[in-house]
């Protein structure tokens, strides 16, 4: 199965729709996966599986801003520990 990592620089409207569809009420820290990077940092990702692709949306402060701007009022991300997010 193919894995695609997306971040705030390359996320498109249909990706935001996938997140909204998979998490209609929003997401929290419990929904995020942690992945170790080669340089020792930890990347926090939101995983969405489709038929032949696993999307890993890198959740950092910049991605949270994109999500806040594009999602409707009912989409909740208040339970995200922003201090634990990696900045690039």
Q: Which domain holds residue 60?
A: 2-71
| In-domain check, residue 20 | yes
| In-domain check, residue 21 | yes
| Whole-prediction pTM | 0.80
Residue with more model confidence, 3 or 73: 3
Tell me the per-residue pLDDT of 6-18, one tens digit each, with 9 for 90 and over. 988 899 989 999 9
The strands making up 2-6's β-sheet, listed across from edge to edge, are: 2-6, 53-58, 42-49, 32-36
| In-domain check, residue 25 | yes
Tell me the per-residue pLDDT of 20-78, one tens digit each, with 9 for 90 and over. 999 888 888 899 999 888 998 888 999 999 999 999 999 888 888 888 887 876 677 76
What is the domain count for the chain? 1
Q: What is the spatial distance between Cα 12 and Cα 36, in angstroms, rounded to a whole number?
A: 25
| In-domain check, residue 26 | yes
| In-domain check, residue 50 | yes
pLDDT at 26: 86
């Amino acid at each position: 199965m193919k894995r695609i990592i997306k971040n705030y620089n390359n996320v498109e409207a249909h990706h935001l729709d996938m997140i909204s569809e998979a998490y209609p009420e929003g997401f929290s820290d419990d929904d995020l996966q942690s992945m170790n990077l080669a340089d020792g940092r930890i990347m926090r990702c939101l995983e969405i599986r489709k038929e032949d692709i696993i999307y890993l949306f890198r959740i950092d402060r910049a991605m949270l801003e994109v999500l806040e701007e594009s999602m409707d009022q009912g989409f909740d991300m208040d339970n995200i520990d922003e201090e634990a997010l990696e900045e690039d």
